[in-house]
A = this chain, B = another copy of it.
Amino acid sequence: MRNQLNERVAISGVGCTHFGDLMETPAIKDMSLQELTAAAVKEALDDAGLSGQDVDAVFAGNAMVHSSQLPATYSQMSKWTGTQFKAGVHFEAQCSTTNVGLAMAATAIAAGVYDTVLVFGVESTRSKVKDYSPYEREPISHQQSWLWTDMAVNQAYGVPQGYDIFSSYNGLVALGYCRKHGISIEDFDRGMFELCRTRRLHGSMNPKANIQETMEDAAKRKGLSDAFEYWQSENNPFVAWPSRLLSLVTTADGASAMVLTRADTAKSGRSQPVEVKGFGISASDLPWYGEDPTIWKNDERAVEDAMDMSGIKAGDIGYLHTHDCSHISSLCTAELIGYLEPGKALDAAREGRLRFDGDRPMSTHGGRHAFGHAWAASAGSDTYEAVLQMRGKAGKRQMPKPPEVSVIHTHGYAMIGTVIVLGGM
């Protein structure tokens, strides 16, 4: 493949809702998925200074159709977003959805077809349609949630034979990492704590985050004076030894949106545009890694393609998000990308280098754990954060120096490594 974009493409608007629970979280409580989507889309269109009728196409992301029951999402959302009669498609790449949408939108613009494309992702991982009601929802059980989520995992031989996400994505990767770099289980545990503490700190500075409580405050709430004591307590069991519960994703409902446009027209928009410099996408079925659980070939390919298309090197990256459903996996990816030194990611976490004000800032919105994870909407939330950071508009968690180049890596479940590179214009 030639792996180039024949024309320059920019993000001219971004939007993202509060990530939480449609049945509980005040900011989004009782909203329909149509309204949740519209909230993100409105923010993105307003940001770009456009209306739904100004876009040429709508790429509508939603992964778990069993909970949303809104296939043909392009048409079901069209009267809620003002996009009637535009081109459209419903798509999913699970937790990479919105950024795979960004890549598809970029190609549609660089091909010469469309000038402006709206991409959105919406998901409810917490509740489902109740009976046949057009507006009532009911909570999903833990098992139901995983049954539907794991439908994205090999249905012939993976799930039927005892596949377990916590093992595959956390425990085995952690052990591979410790063995490879000679790290003790105790040091691993301390490093994971520090990483989670950083993510919780970021979440506490983000009014849209699913969890806005710092680890210190959580400890206090439980009557413990020390955050590490909280970390090692029964509040944080091993879900796949040596990985603990708080190194994992928290599920959420949410929506995100972005407006992509030709770079030559983006500057006349309402907000500071950001250029799509490149992307790389590579899918793989189970197992996601060979003998070494820290090296994922699909990520290697995606990173290589994105770097090649954008022409950047690891040293150019000012802000990085790597997919962190599993915190240890996210660190492996950051090392793979070259943002962190091999085997030194836990040190970096302990030294505070991964904080918004550190020299290797990562996931400043709080990541999948603190910001929360709403499958098809999440990659868009990562891009949203990157754009805010690049514009210097990230509020309390703003990096001291807005990054010139941001890289966002996501894992679309089961499995698709996706990397996008954003640059200032």
Interface residues, chain A, with chain B CB atoms under 8 Å away: 1-7, 32, 34, 56-58, 63-66, 69-72, 74-76, 78-79, 83-94, 100, 104, 106-116, 129, 132, 134-135, 151-157, 160, 280-285, 297-298, 301, 305, 309, 412-416
Q: How many copies does the complex hold?
A: 2
Please pick, from B107, B134, B301, the residue contacting A155 in the complex, using a CB distance under 8 A.
B134
Which residues in B have their C-beta under 8 angstroms from that of A110?
Answer: 6, 107, 111-113
A106 nearest in chain B by CB position: B111
- A72-B152 in contact (CB<8A): yes
Q: A72-B152, A75-B416, A76-B154 are in contact. Are A84 and B114 (CB under 8 A)?
A: no
Other than the given A1-B114, A2-B114, A89-B93, 7 more pairs (CB < 8 A) read A1-B113, A4-B113, A6-B6, A74-B416, A76-B152, A76-B285, A129-B155
Which residues in B have their C-beta under 8 angstroms from that of A74?
Answer: 93, 283, 416
Please pick, from B87, B281, B305, the residue contacting A88 in the complex, using a CB distance under 8 A.
B281
A105 nearest in chain B by CB position: B107
CB distance from A118 to the nearest CB of B (A): 12
- B106-A132 in contact (CB<8A): no
Which residues in B have their C-beta under 8 angstroms from that of A111?
Answer: 5-7, 106-111
A147 nearest in chain B by CB position: B132
Please, could you name 14 A-B residue pairs with CB atoms under 8 Å apart, sorted by A? Answer: A2-B115, A6-B112, A65-B66, A65-B71, A72-B412, A74-B93, A75-B152, A76-B154, A83-B283, A85-B298, A89-B104, A89-B281, A90-B93, A106-B111
Query: Roughly how many angstroms separate A152 CA and B413 CA in the complex, as a whole number?
Result: 24
Query: Roughly how many angstroms separate A30 CA and B84 CA in the complex, as a whole number?
Result: 41
Which residues in B have their C-beta under 8 angstroms from that of A100?
Answer: 89
Please pick, from B63, B104, B280, B414, the residue contacting A75 in the complex, using a CB distance under 8 A.
B414
CB distance from A2 to the nearest CB of B (A): 5
A153 nearest in chain B by CB position: B72
Please pick, from B32, B90, B416, the residue contacting A156 in the complex, using a CB distance under 8 A.
B32
- A283-B112 in contact (CB<8A): no
Which residues in B have their C-beta under 8 angstroms from that of A280?
Answer: 87
- B91-A90 in contact (CB<8A): yes
- A284-B5 in contact (CB<8A): no
- B94-A71 in contact (CB<8A): yes
Which residues in B have their C-beta under 8 angstroms from that of A114?
Answer: 1-2
Which residues in B have their C-beta under 8 angstroms from that of A6?
Answer: 6-7, 110-112
Q: A69-B151, A72-B413 are in contact. Are A89 and B87 (CB under 8 A)?
A: no
Most buried by B among A104, A153, A283: A283
- A104-B108 in contact (CB<8A): yes
Which residues in B have their C-beta under 8 angstroms from that of A415?
Answer: 75
CB distance from A324 to the nearest CB of B (A): 19
A135 nearest in chain B by CB position: B156
Query: Roughly how many angstroms separate A58 CA and B416 CA in the complex, as a whole number?
Result: 12
Please pick, from B63, B69, B75, B109, the residue contacting A71 in the complex, using a CB distance under 8 A.
B63
- B156-A85 in contact (CB<8A): no
Q: A6-B7, A114-B1 are in contact. Are A88 and B78 (CB under 8 A)?
A: no
CB distance from A58 to the nearest CB of B (A): 7
- A297-B416 in contact (CB<8A): no
Which residues in B have their C-beta under 8 angstroms from that of A7?
Answer: 6, 111
